[in-house]
Structure 1
Amino acid sequence: MANTESALKDVMSSIDGAIGVALVDYNSGMALGTLGGSAELDLNVAAAGNTDVVRAKVRAIELLNLKEAIEDILISLNTQYHLIRPLTGRSGKGLFLYLALDRSRANLAMARHQLKRIEADLEV
């Protein structure tokens, strides 16, 4: 089991094209940990903004009476991919991993696979 700091380091070192990653509490919108980012990508602002995305999708699933859980949410930008992966473990309830990728260097399928692996090992 990995703690938050080692999981974030694992994301940045094992996923090609990673720009930044955050572990976010979607009840408060606060980042519990961040690594990477840039002048153009403030991970704390991204954490708060993507909290609204997760809340909206959870609400839509409830309104549709779907018996489904979100595996991940993908946002494709011109030069970046943004992946949001809610934690599924008991200790991760109400948390999600947010990953920003450089689209020119990232392999989206591998990034999703690696993020799933890291999420499974994360102990919060």
Structure 2
Amino acid sequence: MADMDTALKEAMQIDGAVGAAVVDYTSGMALGTLGSSKSLDLTVAAAGNTEVVRAKMRTLEMLKLNDTIEDILITLHKQYHLIRPLSGRNSQGLFLYLALDKGRANLAMARHQLRRIEEDLHV
């Protein structure tokens, strides 16, 4: 089992990683961040992506879908933003956020690696 700091370091090892965060989507606060880009404010990204997660959760509820979100992908011209809600018993209400440089990232591998990190993370 990995702690939050270890999980963030592992996320930043993913090819193309620009920034990573563990976010509480009930409050919108980043519990931990790690990043190498001055152009990406991870606390602002955490708060903004909280709204994305909340909206999707509400939509699932309204549609009465008995399902859970595996991940959410936002594709920009130069970046991918991956949001992965944590599914562990002690991590309800949290998500992993990963920003990737589109030119250096392999999206399929990043999703696979983020899933593995989420499975090992203990918050």
**TM range, normalised to the smaller chain?**
over 0.9
Could you say what the CA RMSD is over the residues aligned between the two structures, in angstroms?
0.6
% identical aligned pairs: 71
Match of 1:10 in 2: 10
Match of 1:41 in 2: 40
Q: CA deviation at 1:91?
A: 1.0
8 Å Cα contact 1:37/1:43 also seen in 2: no
Match of 1:30 in 2: 29
CA–CA distance in structure 2, aligned partners of residues 93 and 37 of structure 1: 28
Give unpaired runs (5+ residues) of structure 1.
none
TM-score normalised according to structure 2 size? 0.99
CA–CA distance in structure 1, aligned partners of residues 55 and 63 of structure 2: 12
CA–CA distance in structure 2, aligned partners of residues 38 and 91 of structure 1: 30
CA–CA distance in structure 2, aligned partners of residues 44 and 106 of structure 1: 22
Give unpaired runs (5+ residues) of structure 2.
none
Show structure 1 runs of 4+ deviating over 6 A. none
Match of 1:90 in 2: 89
The residue type paired with residue 12 of structure 1 is M
1:54-79 Cα offsets, whole Å, 9 max, x none, are 00000000000000100000000000
SS in 2 for 1:35: strand
Match of 1:103 in 2: 102
